[in-house]
């Protein structure tokens, strides 16, 4: 472990727009959550936002896995990008220990990274891509240059995918309206720009979104701490609402679209996302509000037949029983803390990917999306 390598780097500047530095790729967002710099991975500690911006330096893959587990970095695409850089660090260490045996040794580190969060499919997708890159390395050559190139490509491709999804999703919003989003699916949850917030950024720029309601997203308050932060920084009008106020907000006729991200999409179009998403989809259908899921194709798990097969992460009950270290529930009370739920495909009006939009997603329509891409 290399905890002494973790801290704030004076080479980065912190302002109202978040940290700046030499990123591997840039999106049109003032926030950089993942940076490879000077041979190390730097992560913006999202547990500290919005009170302070702290970049933490990681030079060991075990620490990257812990950062993913502890939610220093979170959001399915961002987890995948961080894991890819973690694989670079793992290969470097194993190669330094034995140039002849590093390939076998690195597998344990990759497995450790893969186990850090169970629901986000991008984690396994990115590590599978890094494994293929490892397999392409010839002889006893130093693996770091080629693996770093692959991790950089994953990073840059995610930003490009977010930009494209922003354009496609914004085109679905036909007239100026108000929208609602849940959790955080912005630049902080991705390599940059965002999935759901990428659509909101693009639609606001085009004059199609007048105002955003952001659910607070208990118990980690990603909506309050992160989404509201990103929207304020982007100059997009935002009102924070309690999670329980979302249905009533729809009832008032204030919302035309609910726009969310995803941590995993099953082959039939069922979607795992932050707990509370399913409730929003049910309420949206009842009130005639359209429901949009924005996720790159790397989030679609074609080996997962339906949402019933998606592993749902349960976290420590203290996240519900306490707040910022202070117990808020009575002693003796217990808690159940699933942090994701599954929204059935039949409640989703549009699944927006970088390869195209799947309206009213089904197994056949998702398969057709991939077939069309192969034919190009």
Residues 125 and 148 in one domain: yes
pLDDT at 22: 33
Of 144, 159, 174, which marks where a domain is finished? 159
Q: Considering only CA atoms, which of 233, 236, 164, 207 is closest in space to residue 17?
A: 233
The tokens describing 316, both together, are 């420590």
Tell me: do 133 and 237 sit in the same domain.
Answer: no
Same domain membership, residue 20 and residue 119: yes
In this structure, are 139 and 195 located in the same domain?
no
**How many domains is the chain built from?**
2
pLDDT > 50? residue 15 = no
**Is the preceding peptide bond at 219 cis, omega within 30 degrees of 0?**
yes
Distances (CA, A) of 101 to 28, 104, 153, 300: 42, 6, 26, 34
Percent of the chain with pLDDT over 70: 91
**Distance, CA of 123 to CA of 69 (rounded, Å):** 12
* Residue 343 contacts residue 312 (beta carbons within 8 Å): no
Q: Does the pLDDT at position 197 exceed 90?
A: yes
Three-class DSSP labels, 184-230: CCEHHHCCCCECHHHHHHHHHHCCCEEEEEEECCCCCCHHHHHHHHH
Three-state secondary-structure class, residue 365: helix
Determine phi and psi for 179, rounding to 5 degrees: -135, 165
Q: What is the pTM of this model?
A: 0.88
Across the chain, mean pLDDT equals 91
Q: Checking DSSP bridges between strand 290-294 and strand 257-260, what pairing results, if any?
A: parallel
Which residues are catalytic, by number? 263
**85 and 18, same structural domain?**
yes
Question: How many of the other CB atoms lie within 10 Å of CB of 49?
Answer: 20
SS3 for 238? Answer: strand
* Among 10-14, 36-40, 97-101, 151-155, the least confident range: 10-14
Rounded CA-CA distance 357/168 in Å is: 7
Q: Domain boundary at 103, 136, 159, which?
A: 159
Cα–Cα–Cα angle for 161, 230, 345, nearest 5°? 50
Flag whether pLDDT at 343 surpasses 90: yes
**Two tokens, residue 96:** 């330094």
Candidates 5, 53, 71, 59; CA nearest to 339 is 71
Give the pLDDT confidence score for residue 16 in this predicted structure.
31
The whole-number pLDDT of residue 376 equals 61
Same-domain status, 347 and 265: yes
For residue 375, name the pLDDT band (cuts at 50, 70, 90).
Answer: low
Q: Give the closest residue to 289 by CA, choosing from 181, 167, 168.
A: 181
CB atoms within 10 A of CB 253: 11
Closest among 27, 345, 349 to 161, alpha carbons compared: 27
Residues 221-236 pLDDT 10s: 999 999 999 999 999 9
Give the residue from 115, 139, 159 where a domain finishes: 159
Kindly state whether residues 146 and 276 are assigned to the same domain: no
Same domain, 213 and 277: yes
What's the confidence (pLDDT) of residue 325?
A: 87
- Residue 332 φ/ψ, nearest 5 degrees: 100, -20
Please report the sign of the dihedral spanned by the C-alpha atoms of residue 149, residue 151, residue 152, residue 156: positive
List Cα–Cα distances, 152 to 35, 149, 189, 253, in angstroms.
10, 5, 17, 44
Domain range enclosing 138: 3-159
Whichever domain contains 349, its CATH number is: 3.40.50.10470
Q: Is pLDDT above 80 for 354? A: yes
- Same domain membership, residue 198 and residue 236: yes
pLDDT above 90 coverage of the chain, percent: 86
Question: For 281-330, how does the pLDDT look when each residue is reduced to its tens digit (9 = 90+)?
Answer: 999 999 999 999 999 999 999 999 999 999 999 999 999 999 888 999 99
The lowest-confidence range among 149-158, 336-345, 364-373 is: 364-373
CATH number at residue 117: 1.20.120.420
CA distance 92 to 261: 33
Are 79 and 181 part of one and the same domain? no
Q: Are residues 148 and 260 in the same domain?
A: no
Residues 155 and 176 in one domain: no
């Amino acid at each position: 472990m290399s905890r002494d390598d973790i801290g704030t780097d004076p080479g980065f500047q912190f302002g109202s727009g978040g940290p700046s530095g030499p990123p591997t790729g840039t999106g049109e967002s003032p926030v950089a959550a993942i940076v490879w710099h000077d041979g190390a991975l730097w992560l913006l500690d999202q547990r500290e936002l919005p009170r302070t911006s702290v970049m933490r330096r990681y030079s060991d893959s075990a620490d990257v896995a812990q950062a993913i587990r502890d939610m220093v970095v979170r959001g399915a695409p961002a987890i995948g990008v961080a894991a890819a850089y973690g694989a670079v660090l793992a290969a470097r260490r194993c190669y330094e220990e034995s140039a002849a045996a590093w390939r076998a040794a690195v597998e344990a580190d990759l497995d450790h990274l893969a186990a850090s969060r169970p629901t986000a499919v991008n984690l396994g997708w990115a590590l599978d891509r890094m494994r293929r890159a490892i397999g392409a390395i010839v002889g006893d050559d130093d693996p770091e240059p080629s693996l770093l190139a692959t991790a950089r490509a994953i990073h840059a491709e995610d930003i490009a995918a977010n930009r494209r999804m922003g354009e496609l999703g914004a085109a679905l919003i036909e007239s100026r309206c108000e929208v609602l989003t849940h959790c955080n699916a912005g630049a902080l949850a991705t390599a940059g720009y965002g999935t759901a917030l990428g659509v909101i950024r693009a639609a606001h720029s085009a004059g199609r979104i007048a105002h955003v309601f952001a659910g607070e997203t208990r118990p980690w308050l990603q909506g309050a701490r992160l989404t509201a932060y990103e929207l304020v920084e982007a100059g997009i009008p935002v009102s924070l609402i309690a999670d329980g106020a979302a249905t009533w907000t729809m009832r008032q006729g204030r919302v035309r679209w609910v726009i969310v991200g995803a941590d995993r999409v099953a082959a039939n179009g069922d979607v795992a996302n932050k707990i509370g998403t399913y409730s929003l989809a049910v309420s949206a259908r009842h009130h005639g509000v359209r429901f949009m899921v924005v996720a790159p194709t790397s989030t679609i798990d074609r080996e997962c037949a339906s949402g019933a097969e998606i592993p749902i992460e349960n976290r420590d009950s203290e996240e519900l029983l306490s707040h910022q270290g202070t117990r808020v529930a009575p002693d003796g009370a217990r808690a159940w803390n699933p942090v994701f739920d599954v929204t059935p495909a039949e409640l989703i009006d549009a699944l927006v990917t970088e390869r195209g939009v799947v309206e009213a997603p089904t197994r056949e329509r998702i398969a057709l999306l991939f077939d069309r891409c192969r034919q190009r």
